[in-house]
Amino acid sequence: MGTNLFADFLFSSKKDWEKQAKKDLKGLAPNQVFQTRLWGSIPIKPLYALEDLTFPIPQGVFHSPSKIPGGSPRYWTNVVTVLPNETNADVLSALGNGAEGLILPLYGTEDLPVLLEGVMPQYLAIYLLPLGNPVAAFQLFQDWLESIEVDGSSLHGGMLWNPADQVFDQHQDLGLGVELLEELLELTEDYPNFKSFCIKTSRYSESGAHPMDALTFGLGELVDILDRISVSPSAVFQNLFLESALGEHHFGEIGRQLAFRRLVQNLALLYQVELEEQELILFCQTGHWSQSILDVHTNTIRQTYQALSAVLGGANVLWVKPLHEEIASTQERRIARNVSAILKEEAYLDKVQNPSTGSYFLENLVADLVVEIQTALTLLEQEGGWWKACQTGTLQSRVKTHRAKIQGEFLDKNQVKVGANTYPAPPYLAFNKPFLPFEEAAQELKPTRATYLVESLTFEAQ
């Protein structure tokens, strides 16, 4: 298309827009009225223009081109959980109705030949969620793969596990987690497209951490792992994927996911490892921190715009999780499974590789996030690193302080959550999930919700 559709419109500079805005605001400068801060940290200007793009703009390629002739330029994998009480028929039904991959929570004792009968792993992605020893979980999975004679190079997926899981979930030393990772790296050598571990940032964001701290601490984990592990940095970076839970700030979350990719590339360069952006797998799940057990139908909207942020932020894998998935209804799980299809078939998000490229606002936001998080990571390392912060409780205290602040703001209605602290559903329409008291040891970080205090008072009053 050679016709310039904007030929009749004169170019307007940023000063022109600011002048018009000041006129519309009756003499007030836009910065006086509309300047805000993202998550209380990153300044957001009321106006961005071409002049703000003072740096090179990367294209932003999230994956290699589709191998399917005529395939969409943008694709991602829609994964669902296989719950402990589900049968082979349930698994096949999910795969026949929109699921493109599976999350398998494993202790290492499950009967996979029965559960996964008829499942062809070479045509989908499979992610293992270890509930105990990650090596035992993978060996069980490997035995099943060998029993059905799957070519290792055709397997895609990874371990939804990180050595720091041994610290927070099993109360063990990080060194043991690193030893387990070394075993997994050896076990997965014959599966080049199956990742041995992830940078798990959801443990922080789902516990109420500041969204930028979630990335800082996740990258801090990786630095400590690299310092301890006996294999080369190149082997580590080639065998990891990025994991993130989305929050409710739409543009902020898009920027945070894009920044996450860039930060890992920058960190790899410090270890003389060059990573192409399309080599990085970004696994995004909808976050429960920003959802509520009060008027749970509103969570359908929340999980949809979180998924939208994930896709626009470069997600390669999308896990839309209903709140309290283990007790979610069949309808709730079906709606969650269908979100990805809606984003493809109705929002057409698969028609453009990266629609955010060149956005004056988002490009500046990503650049600011990268600088802020790199500065925070440098400070963390200067203070002794992630492991020291974890051992002394400084890290946990920081997460819990931010959590208490946000929960207090919702309790005082300084922040709004529709259906929870504002505009509650009338009794005849209200549908609430069961309330379970929150328990957490001093050194632990457990997932919770921003509206937990509101929920507690609501259920006490009933």
Q: Are 374 and 220 in contact (CB under 8 A)?
A: no
Q: Is 454 helix (H, G, I), strand (E, B) or coil?
A: helix
Pairing of strands 197-200, 240-246: parallel
pLDDT above 80 for 396: yes
Work out the burial of residue 64: count CB atoms within 10 Å of its CB; fewer than 13 is exposed, 13-18 middle, 19 or more buried: exposed
User: Quick one: residue 451, left, alpha or beta (phi over 0 = left, psi -120 to 50 = alpha)?
Assistant: alpha
Same domain, 22 and 95: no
Same domain, 150 and 26: no
Same domain, 189 and 329: yes
Q: Answer whether residue 242 is part of any domain.
A: yes
Q: Are 291 and 449 in contact (CB under 8 A)?
A: yes
Same domain, 251 and 205: yes
| Dihedral angle of Cα 162, 164, 165, 168, to the nearest 10 degrees | -160
Q: Answer whether residue 376 is part of any domain.
A: no
Last residue of a domain, one of 322, 337, 366: 366
pLDDT above 60 for 1: no
pLDDT above 80 for 59: no
The percentage of residues in the chain with a pLDDT greater than 70, rounded to a whole number, is 99
Q: How confident is the model at residue 2 (pLDDT cuts 50, 70, 90)?
A: low
Q: Answer whether residue 416 is part of any domain.
A: no
Domain count, the chain: 2
Q: Answer whether residue 446 is part of any domain.
A: no
Same domain, 139 and 43: no
Q: Answer whether residue 290 is part of any domain.
A: yes
- Amino acid in position 168: F
Count Cα atoms within 13 angstroms, Cβ side, for 212.
19
Q: Which long-range contacts (C-beta less than 8 Å, at least 24 apart) are formed by 90-95?
A: 91/115, 91/116, 91/119, 92/118, 92/119, 94/337, 95/119, 95/124
Same domain, 142 and 34: no
Q: Are 310 and 284 in contact (CB under 8 A)?
A: yes
Count Cα atoms within 13 angstroms, Cβ side, for 161.
32
Same domain, 152 and 283: yes
Q: Which residues contact 15 (CB under 8 A, 6 or more apart)?
A: none
pLDDT above 80 for 5: no
Q: Answer whether residue 54 is part of any domain.
A: no
Could you report the per-residue pLDDT of 311-339, keeping only the tens digit for each? 999 999 999 999 999 999 999 999 999 99
Q: Answer whether residue 404 is part of any domain.
A: no
192: domain CATH number is 3.20.20.240
Same domain, 168 and 212: yes
Q: Token pair of 91, please? A: 């698994």
Lowest mean pLDDT among 14-23, 185-194, 250-259: 14-23
How far CA 101 is from CA of 3, 78, 156, 382, 424, in Å, comes to 43, 6, 9, 41, 36
Same domain, 22 and 146: no
Last residue of a domain, one of 6, 32, 47: 47
Tokens 């829609």 — which residue? Answer: 78
Same domain, 272 and 333: yes
**372-401 average pLDDT score:** 97
d(CA 392, CA 397): 9
Arithmetic mean of pLDDT over the chain:
93
Last residue of a domain, one of 340, 366, 392: 366
Same domain, 81 and 225: yes
User: Which domain range does residue 27 map to?
Assistant: 14-47
Q: Is 271 helix (H, G, I), strand (E, B) or coil?
A: coil
Q: Answer whether residue 119 is part of any domain.
A: yes
Same domain, 244 and 133: yes
Q: Is the dihedral of CA 157, 286, 373, 34 positive or negative?
A: positive
Strand intervals (E) in 46-109:
77-81, 101-106
Q: Is 290 helix (H, G, I), strand (E, B) or coil?
A: coil
Neighbours of 250 (CB within 10 A): 14
